[in-house]
Amino acid sequence: MNNLGQLMQLGQQLQSRMSKLQENLESHEVTTSAGGGMVTVRADGKGTVKAIRIDPTCVDPADVEMLEDLVLAAVSEAQQQARAVQEEEMRKATGGLPMNLPGLPGLF
């Protein structure tokens, strides 16, 4: 019975840490750019794009493909940075907790 109590306590600790993690990710912000700053993307720590800024000098109706590539590159970079933030916050949130418990396959 002692193991069950420990498991319940561990679950409560993890739930509390995951709640805090979600709050941290929502408030964390990453900003990236492409094309020497012609396109800038701001995203939260979850990778949700919050804003895109496009320098008017790079808007060329004859070369829309370049602008599309710049936007894609900046968004991809923002999402990659957000994933790095998520991984770091997850390491902090789960510090000291075992990530796989014997007898409970697939729990984490």
Summarize pLDDT for 36-76 with one digit per residue, the tens.
999 999 998 888 899 999 999 988 889 899 999 999 999 99
Q: Which residues contact 26 (CB under 8 A, 6 or more apart)?
A: 44, 45, 46
Q: How far apart are the first and last CA of the chain?
A: 22
Name the pTM for this structure.
0.67
Q: Which CATH architecture has domain 2-93?
A: 2-Layer Sandwich (3.30)
To the nearest whole number, what is the mean pLDDT of the chain?
A: 83
Which amino acid belongs to residue 77? E
Residue 31: predicted pLDDT: 94
What are the residue boundaries of the structural domains of the chain, listed by start?
2-93
Residue 107: predicted pLDDT: 47
Among 8, 23, 5, CA closest to 92: 23
